Structure 1
Amino acid sequence: MVIKTESDLTPAVLAVMNRTEDPRLREILVSMVAHLHAFVREVRLTEVEFREATAMLNEIGQLHTDHHNEFVLMAGSLGVSSLVCLLNNGDRGQTETSQSLLGPFWRLSSPRVENGASIIRSETPGTPL
């Protein structure tokens, strides 16, 4: 397929993604490309902005180690990790999930605290927030 215009691009990429053998992976890739292309069109992403965004993603990738995953942290900041957890573990409107993400304050053998209670374990001056 010859790509002559911007409107030719998405169908060409989707045609390639549709050749993916695994049905679930194909579904994910097709949807990802369609949404990503729609996003780029919606915000009218410039070439400078694209370079800045890819530089940021590259930097995040370089910060990754065996013990520190910046992409997971970014996904958490964007709410993606929580959304995946809730979609896969929520139970008909209940607010708790059978699986829960280990947040930044999780520590092995920490005492149990009720929802809304303080996790501070030392005398801290000032008014609690």
Structure 2
Amino acid sequence: MSKFFSEETSAEAVNSRMGDRANPRLKQVMSSLVVHLHAFIKDVQLTQSEWETAIDFLTQTGQVCSSERQEFILLSDTLGASMLVDAINNRRPSGATENTVLGPFHVKGAPEREMGAAISFDGKGESCLFEGRVTDVEGRGISGARIDVWSDNAEGFYDVQQPDIQPKWNNRGTFTTGADGSYSFIGIKPVSYPIPHDGPVGQMLRKLGRHPYRPAHMHFIVTAPDFQKLVTHTFVADDGYMTSDAVFGVKETLIAPYERLQDAATLWRSSFNFVLAPSS
């Protein structure tokens, strides 16, 4: 092979420059990236103007990033890359509850609450009883499972987005299951909301004819000793954005029933069981 760069041998020319001392995993990842990147450029016959547009887009994406906002993660989310990485790294046995993306609004240290307690404190939204069990793949209840939950409010905002408007820890809490693995708490029926779309990623979505909305969902992190950590959502079954989630987070097994109640303490009830996979 020639030691000089050519259109025909472009990927090989770049990869041949990697030294023997390079970390083997880094070398594997970067070599594959170069091969696929060069193949993409050749496949679409990328023009100089398009290349400059791409560089400008990535530059703007980086410039938007701050300690409060990560536009590159948003880009990864909207291209389905985040969900693919999550899926590859969270393969589970049949019957175990599936993972989905964590999202940017989780906050560590949410208050421990008594089972059955309310987590919504701004007086907005339609009340909903969330209940179910945490079990192993054999259906046995898991005692002492920790359930960390959070959702947006009725206007589609998380408390950390409105620190001067919403009460601290609004629509957040942690619960610990008893002997039979059951859980319950009172929140609100979540609503759909748009991801941040005032930056480069939002501009990309508009040009692609895509909307920025996520279907309504409740977040859960479920952990227990000797079981894999579960990071997931449950989705409101009749949401209009269910099949067009801007970040591709919906999985069919995570769509939860929401039952309208009559003459009950809450307007809605959503029952969902979480099945944890063993850690080994």
TM-score bucket of the superposed structures, by smaller chain: 0.7 to 0.9
Q: Which of 1 and 2 has higher RCO (CA within 8 Å, sep 6+)? A: 2
Structure 1 residue 104: Cα displacement: 6.2
Secondary structure of 1:17's counterpart equals coil
**Higher helix content, 1 or 2:** 1
**Alignment of 1:64 onto 2:69:** no
The residue identity in structure 2 corresponding to 1:91 is R
In structure 1, the gaps of 5 or more residues are 121-127
**Structure 1 residue 26 and structure 2 residue 27: aligned?**
yes
- The letter of the residue matching 1:14 is N
TM-score for the superposition, normalised by structure 1: 0.76
Identity of paired residues, percent? 33
Structure-2 separation of matches of 1:16 and 1:9: 12
Counterpart code for 2:9: D
Equivalent runs, 1:78-117 vs 2, <5 Å: 78-92=79-93, 94=96, 96-97=98-99, 100-103=100-103, 106=151, 107=158, 109=172
Give the number of the structure whose residues are more often strand, by fraction.
2
Instruction: Tell me how far apart the structure 1 counterparts of residues 73 and 48 of structure 2 sit (CA, whole Å).
Output: 26
| Residue-pair matches, total | 116
Is the counterpart of residue 2 in structure 1 residue 73 in structure 2?
A: no
Residue 7 of structure 1 deviates from its aligned partner by: 1.2
- Are the equivalent residues in 2 in contact too, given 1:14–1:33 (CA < 8 A)? yes
Alpha-carbon RMSD across the aligned residues, in angstroms, is 2.6
Task: Please say if residues 63 and 70 of structure 1, whose CA atoms lie closer than 8 Å, have aligned partners that are also in contact.
Answer: yes
Are residues 49 and 87 of structure 1, via their aligned partners in 2, closer, same or farther at CA, if it must alter by over 3 Å? same
3-state SS in 2 of match to 1:7 = coil
What TM-score does the superposition give when structure 2 sets the normalisation length? 0.37
Give 1 or 2 for the bigger CA radius of gyration: 2
Query: 1:17 touches 1:29 (CA, 8 Å); kept in 2?
Result: no
